[in-house]
Amino acid sequence: MIRWFLVWLSLFPITLAAQRPNVILVITDDLGYGDLSCYGQKHFSTPHLDRMAAEGLRFTRHYAGATVCAPSRCSLMTGRDGGHASIRGNGPVSLRPDPEDRTIASLLRDAGYDTALVGKSCVTGNTQTPETLREKGFDYFYGTTDHKDGHFRFPKFVYENDKRIELEGNTLHSGPHYDLTLYQNQALAWLDRRSEKPFFLVLSLPLPHASLAAPEEALARVRKGIRNEVSHKAGDRHYSDVREVKATHAAMVTLIDDTMGRLLEKLREKNQDRNTLVMFTSDNGSHAEGGYHYSMLQSNGSLRGGKRDLYEGGIRVPLIARWPAACPAGRTSDHASAFWDFLPTLCELAGLTPPAGIQGISYAPLLTGRASDQPKHESLYWEFHEMNGRRALISGDWKVVQYGLKPGAFGKAQLYRISGDPGEQKNLADAEPERLAELMRRMDTARVPEARFPLPGLDSPVR
C-alpha cells in the first residue's frame, strides 16, 4: 500500500510541493547558446549543468532581455520587455526608484523571503551605487556595481552591502583574488547562514565575458579538446593578453560548471535540494571581445550572429530549471519565453500578484509539468540603441529583423521562419510580403518611448 501511495504522489508534484520554493538564479555574462554540452558543445564538457538539465527542464527557445548586459538584466528584474523597460542600453543608469521599477527581489522580500545578489549587479548599470541594491530589494550584496568592473577577473575592489572592500594584490589582469572564486564562496557562505525562511539568491557570474583568464588547473582540463589554438595581444590594455584564447574561454565555462556542482551539493547538504528551484541562464549571446570570437568554439551553436546582434545568436540563450519537488525531470521545451517572464513566473510560484503593466507571462505551468495550461506570447520584441539602431520581433515561428533605424534611412526588414531556419539563412521578406507587413505593423506598436534612452528613428519616425 505504501509503495502505491508513493507512486501516486509522484504523479502530482505541484499539488504536494511546498507552495513557496527557495529560488537560486545563476546568470552568466556572454555565455552562448552552444557553450554547454547539453546544448551541443563538443570541444569541452559541462557535466554538472548536463546533469541539472537531465534532472529538470531544458528550454530550447529562451531569449535574453536584450543583446547587451544592462537592458537584458533590467527586463529580468522588472518583467518588462525591450520596448517598455526603463534601461535600454549600457551606460551610467540604474533602475528607477520604486514603484516605477519594482523588482522581483523587492516583491519576494516583502513576501518574507531572504534576498541576496552576489557578483555583478543586475540593477545599477555602469554606476558605483551599492546602496541601490538594498533599494531594489536585496538584503545582502557582495560584488561589483559598475558593469565595467565586471570585465576583469581580478577586480581591485568589491562591495559588501555598501562597504567597499579592497582586494589587495589584484591588478585587474592578475592577482590572488579570482572573481568567480570570490563569488562562489560568498554565495555558499550565504546559503550556510539561511534559517527557515524561504530565500532568493541571484548569483551573477561575470564569466565568460572578457577579460579572458583562468587558472592552470582549469586550462589543463580542456586543452585536449582544443585545435588550432590562437593567442591575443591586448592593444589598449583594457583586456588581458591571452596565450591560449580558446582554452581560456573553455576553462572559464567549465569553472562556471564547477560552481553549479558546488551549489547543488550545498543544497543537498542542507536538505534544501527538493524545494529549491535552481535556474541557469546567460544575459545575451556569446561575444567577439578580448581576443575571442564566438565562432572559435561554436559558442552560439549554429545560430547566426552574436552579442549586439538581434539575430538568434545575440539573444537566444540557455535556460535550465531544476526543482525536484515540482518540476518533472528529463524534459525539453521549445516554448518561446524571455527574460521578462522570470518575474511573473516567480510571483505565481510564491503566490504573489505581479505589478501592472509588465509584458511577462508566467511559465510556471510549464515548469510544473502542466504544459497544456501554458499561455503563449503573441509576440516578443527587442530593440538595440547602438550601431544606428536595431529592432526585432518574433510571433510564433516568424521573426522580423531590421537594422539601421536612422530617421529617413531605415534599413530593409528581413523575415525568417525560425522553426525551419534557426540559423536565419533564408530571408523570406520578398516571398512573404503580406506576412512581413503584418509583423512590421506589430513591431511599430510594440514599444513606448523612454526619455533616458531616446532612439530618434523610432521616437520620431521618418521612414
Q: Are residue 101 and residue 196 in the same domain, yes or no?
A: yes
Q: For 33-62, give one letter per residue: b (16+ CB within 10 A) or e.
A: bbbbbbbebebbbbebbbbbbebbbbbebb
- 412: which DSSP letter? P
Using CA atoms, how far apart are residues 280 and 114, in angstroms rounded to an integer? 20
Q: Are residue 246 and residue 109 in the same domain, yes or no?
A: yes
Which of 358, 373, 388 is a domain's end point? 373
Q: Are residue 257 and residue 288 in the same domain, yes or no?
A: yes
Q: Are residue 321 and residue 339 in the same domain, yes or no?
A: yes
Is residue 312 in some structural domain? Answer: yes
Is residue 216 in some structural domain? Answer: yes
Is residue 8 in some structural domain? Answer: no
6's grid cell: 508513493
Q: Are residue 263 and residue 369 in the same domain, yes or no?
A: yes
Whether this prediction's pTM lies above 0.85 is answered by: yes
pLDDT digits (tens, 9 = 90+) for 150-185: 999 999 999 999 999 999 999 999 999 999 999 999
Q: Are residue 426 and residue 335 in the same domain, yes or no?
A: no
Is residue 4 in some structural domain? Answer: no
Domains contained in the chain, number = 2
Q: Are residue 331 and residue 250 in the same domain, yes or no?
A: yes
- Predicted pLDDT at 11: 46
Average pLDDT, the chain: 94
Q: Are residue 386 and residue 369 in the same domain, yes or no?
A: no
pLDDT digits (tens, 9 = 90+) for 25-49: 999 999 999 999 999 999 999 999 9
Burial of 192 (0-12, 13-18, 19+ CB in 10 A): exposed
Which of 326, 341, 373 is a domain's end point? 373
Q: Are residue 323 and residue 411 in the same domain, yes or no?
A: no
Q: Are residue 320 and residue 214 in the same domain, yes or no?
A: yes
Is residue 7 in some structural domain? Answer: no
- Omega of the bond leading into 324 within 30 degrees of 0 (cis): no
Is residue 234 in some structural domain? Answer: yes
pLDDT digits (tens, 9 = 90+) for 273-310: 999 999 999 999 999 999 999 999 999 999 999 999 99
Is residue 195 in some structural domain? Answer: yes
CATH number at residue 47: 3.40.720.10
10: pLDDT strictly greater than 80: no
Which of 373, 392, 408 is a domain's end point? 373
Using CA atoms, how far apart are residues 152 and 31, in angstroms rounded to an integer? 16
Q: Are residue 218 and residue 296 in the same domain, yes or no?
A: yes
Q: Are residue 234 and residue 198 in the same domain, yes or no?
A: yes
Using CA atoms, how far apart are residues 236 and 452, in angstroms rounded to an integer? 30
Is residue 130 in some structural domain? Answer: yes
Pairing of strands 57-63, 331-333: parallel
- Predicted pLDDT at 180: 98
**Which pLDDT band, with edges at 50, 70 and 90, does 5 fall under?**
very low
- Predicted pLDDT at 285: 98
CATH number at residue 423: 3.30.1120.10
Alpha carbon separation from 107 to 20, 25, 187, 338 (Å, rounded): 13, 16, 21, 20
Three-class SS state of 457: helix
What separation, in Å, do the N-terminal and C-terminal C-alpha atoms of the chain show? 72
- 113: containing domain: 19-373
Contacts of 315 (CB under 8 A, 6+ apart): 63, 64, 66, 67, 284, 285, 309, 382, 392
